[in-house]
Amino acid sequence: MGMSANYGPAADGQQMIALIRAAVDLGVTFFDTAESYGPFTNELLVGEALAPVRDQVVIATKFGHNLDPETGQRRGRNSRPEHIKQVAEASLKRLKTDVIDLFYQHRGDPNVPIEEVAGAVKELIQQGKVRHFGLSEAAAKTIRRAHSVQRVTAIQSEYSLWARDPEAEVLPTCEELGVGFVPWSPLGQGFLTGKVDPRQTFDKGDIRSIFPRFTEEARNANQPLVDLVREIARQKNGTPAQIALSWLLAQKPWIVPIPGTRKLERLKENLGAVEVEITSDDLREIDEAASKIHVHGARGTGQEEYL
């Protein structure tokens, strides 16, 4: 996503293709995109980058928004079965592939029962156009309802040391049903890396400019969490980013975070998280320390909710 949108102007396409291919060379096998990233341009980027190594990787993309075909602007949510099938066909072309490995509902549609959504994806799976069905930002009850129609392979929701909402109901439901969990923004939109200056401003092209958690007041108030991560990083001889990722990896073996970057050095740093060992004792100590820190500001746009 970040290569094409939401963090300022899109990065140079050829440089990003080189970076994606470098990720494959370094052992990365799971890539996440969506028709709404760009919009459309991120799928094209991922498709071109991964075409030479398509059989070595898993590609996830998403449906669920009405996008203006000319401007790409979002015009509300749309998970009607016929729309899902249209999105699948368009995504297959942009991704230069004959099958989508993991097809997520990007956000719930209050106007379409989840059973109908699951049924539409089930048909695509039966046709060989999709391999697996996923949901993003879904409530536990929605996951169960969808799972009763078509097995849900993965749930993608925001989850990190400063966004722990899934722990109450969603993660236990995933464990019970055998569903994988994919945390988006595992680095807290960069905040947990310690690289976000509390005094910096974000221009309109940066999505963080509208996030309540990224006001100057909230960033100053949330600094103790960064200090905690930095201290753990010092103890573990790692970086704050690696601690944020290794903390997620230590939660459950079926949790797979998807950090994004535009830089090769950050890619390598993120991958180094697998070498940082977080023990059960470490997790308890981190939880105890984090429980004393109140996170200020709503997550996302402040309107994120499970449906």
What would the two tokens of residue 194 be?
A: 């310690």
Whether residue 37 lies in the annotated active site: yes
Partnered with residue 157 across adjacent β-strands are 183
Bond prior to 39 in cis (omega within 30° of 0): yes
Assess contact for 240 and 160: CB atoms under 8 A. no
Question: Which of the 8 DSSP states describes residue 129?
Answer: S
Alpha carbon distance 217, 222 (integer Å): 9
Alpha carbon distance 44, 307 (integer Å): 29
Bond prior to 9 in cis (omega within 30° of 0): no
Assess contact for 22 and 267: CB atoms under 8 A. yes
CA neighbor of 195 nearest in space, from 223, 176, 221, 171:
223
Q: Which residues contact 92 (CB under 8 A, 6 or more apart)?
A: 98, 99, 100, 129
Assess contact for 189 and 235: CB atoms under 8 A. no
- Residue for token pair 């990003």: 16
Catalytic position from the list 7, 37, 104, 306: 37
Alpha carbon distance 220, 214 (integer Å): 9
What is the CA angle 112-178-172, rounded to 5?
80
Question: Which of the 8 DSSP states describes residue 160?
Answer: B
122 phi, psi to nearest 5 deg:
-60, -40
CA neighbor of 182 nearest in space, from 104, 99, 242:
104
Q: Which residues are catalytic?
A: 37
